Structure 1
Amino acid sequence: MSLINQMSQTSSQVTQTKNQPNTVSTNNTKTSTNSTGNPFLDGLRLPSNSAVPEAKSQQLTQEDFFSLLSQQLSMQDPFKPVDNDQMIAQMASFSTVDGISKLNDQIVNLNSVMTSSQALQASGLVGRKVLLPTDTGYISAESPGLNGVISTSEKIPVINIRIEDEKGQVVRTFTVDGSKGGNTDVKWDGLNDKGEPVAAGNYSIKASGLVNDKSQALAVSTYGHVTSVSLGTAATGAILNLKGGMAFKLSDVLAITEV
């Protein structure tokens, strides 16, 4: 006789037994319900208690398991008793499943604690500038310049820089020295080709250079000003909110500047 194979059927029988209404004799019993003496009016009264049963969980618990186990042992065939090894294996399997369920709950709580802790640590970045893997940065009257880093795998003597606004229009062009290779700093003072300050907004730094005698776009990272931190989720972690409306994960930060 297998306990695991019969748990569903026995549980259904137990549930049906629990849901059967109890029959109580009302002979010679006085009720405290107020009566008008008119059977018709008394029949229109609303019941004092709700007839809708409370919703109960359909998931079997460890108490239900041992209750079904006791019932099975009491109803076993004397000529075909339950195999002790099989019963112990079933009990061990149920304990394992129950342990995994509790472990999942603990992991969820641990993720929540780690997310809150990460957000608390990230709050120290508020008011600072961080290097992020994007070529777009925000220009304003308080922060009129835009700095970034150009990453190259080879030495490029001349790197061409284009500054584009949100509409993709070029507002400034200049060159930087990339003869050392690797990471090359690039700084823009926030002025257009006419030497006039540009309007506040998001601007992109586009870099290109000759690689094997062919013009190639180069990877650019820019610094952004952190204004606030959001909790995010366990999958994303803390979210850094930047001036200009952009947002990045804390794990995307490449470098942090001084205050």
Structure 2
Amino acid sequence: MTTTASVTGASTDLSAVIGGSNASEAGSADRFLKLLVTQLQNQDPLNPMDNAELTSQMAQINTVTGIENLNNSVQAMHASFLQMQALQGASLVGRDVTVDGNQLTLVDGQLEGGFTLAGPADAVQVDILNPAGQVVDTLQLGAQDSGRHGFAWDASKLADAGGHTFRVSARLGAAEVASLPLMLDRVVSVGLDGSSGLVLTLERSGDKPYGEVHALN
């Protein structure tokens, strides 16, 4: 009598054989196949295992192997992406970028800053503060749309324009509109961080993830 070898009597649990969440280990597929061959060799000819389960478990081991290969490919792509980011980031050294902050920057005799509005406002006011925190002037910018805006203040009469800051207040009728102050800063160097990716070292703000840069200037 000829017996067709199939697989189910000994009921192999693939997830137990290949170690569940540790299935990415290199020897997991070999262990599974060796156990499967042993079961086939020792099965009861009168009660053969089911072909459907053999097919199902072979599909599982192929899926596990495919996932492991995919993970390796993703890790290699991530490493290449970080290297590419570092090369691109090197071109930013010496350039100005826009980041969160309320420090004013002297440009051609004017102190410049910026802000973003969470919504439209019918009255926007910017107070210019000296290094002691005292208001030295106020700019009335009127109505502004939501989004990013810039402003400039004449600093030509100041003996020393360093250390000046600003604050923004915006309203729509009686309601306050949320605002975020923005400032210019210069990139001194770039580096890579395992969790944040490309990190810029800025002249005044220190280290900033590239994702926190609002604009390149």
Report the TM range for the smaller structure's normalisation. 0.7 to 0.9
* Larger-Rg structure: 1
1:74 matched to 2:41? The reply is yes
Aligned to 2:196: 236
Identity of matched residues, %: 24
* Equivalent-residue separation in structure 2 for 1:74 and 1:94 (angstroms): 20
**Do the aligned residues in 1 keep the contact of 2:115 with 2:180 (CA within 8 Å)?**
yes
- Deviation string 1:187-235 (CA, Å, 9 cap, x unpaired) is 35779xx9342666xx6421124542467663221111111111123x4
* Equivalent-residue separation in structure 2 for 1:6 and 1:160 (angstroms): 64
Residues 65 and 159 of structure 1, relative CA distance in 2, 3 Å threshold: same
* Equivalent-residue separation in structure 2 for 1:103 and 1:253 (angstroms): 32
Report matched runs for 1:15-94 at 5 Å: 60-94=27-61
Any stretches of 5+ residues in structure 2 without a counterpart? Answer: 1-9, 20-24
The amino acid of 1:178's aligned partner reads: L
SS at match of 1:78: coil
**Do the aligned residues in 1 keep the contact of 2:105 with 2:183 (CA within 8 Å)?**
no
1:113 matched to 2:80? The reply is yes
Aligned to 1:160: 126
* Equivalent-residue separation in structure 1 for 2:53 and 2:108 (angstroms): 73
* Equivalent-residue separation in structure 1 for 2:174 and 2:109 (angstroms): 35
Aligned residues: 198
* Equivalent-residue separation in structure 1 for 2:68 and 2:193 (angstroms): 25
- Deviation string 1:7-42 (CA, Å, 9 cap, x unpaired) is 64xx9xxxxxxxxxxxxxxxxxxxxxxxxxxxxxxx
Aligned to 1:45: none
Residues 151 and 76 of structure 1, relative CA distance in 2, 3 Å threshold: same
Following TM superposition, by how much is the alpha carbon of 1:5 offset from its aligned partner in structure 2, in angstroms?
A: 5.9
Structure with greater proportional strand content: 2
**Do the aligned residues in 1 keep the contact of 2:105 with 2:113 (CA within 8 Å)?**
no
* Equivalent-residue separation in structure 1 for 2:206 and 2:154 (angstroms): 21
**Could you say what the CA RMSD is over the residues aligned between the two structures, in angstroms?**
3.4
- Deviation string 1:126-159 (CA, Å, 9 cap, x unpaired) is 1011111x1244879x999752213342232x61
The amino acid of 2:51's aligned partner reads: N
**Do the aligned residues in 1 keep the contact of 2:116 with 2:181 (CA within 8 Å)?**
yes
1:254 matched to 2:214? The reply is yes
Residues 248 and 77 of structure 1, relative CA distance in 2, 3 Å threshold: same
* Equivalent-residue separation in structure 1 for 2:109 and 2:32 (angstroms): 69
Residues 216 and 63 of structure 1, relative CA distance in 2, 3 Å threshold: closer
**Do the aligned residues in 2 keep the contact of 1:137 with 1:224 (CA within 8 Å)?**
no
Following TM superposition, by how much is the alpha carbon of 1:66 offset from its aligned partner in structure 2, in angstroms?
A: 1.6
Following TM superposition, by how much is the alpha carbon of 1:242 offset from its aligned partner in structure 2, in angstroms?
A: 0.3
Residues 78 and 209 of structure 1, relative CA distance in 2, 3 Å threshold: closer
The amino acid of 1:230's aligned partner reads: G
* Equivalent-residue separation in structure 1 for 2:47 and 2:130 (angstroms): 84
SS at match of 2:77: helix
**Do the aligned residues in 2 keep the contact of 1:138 with 1:243 (CA within 8 Å)?**
no
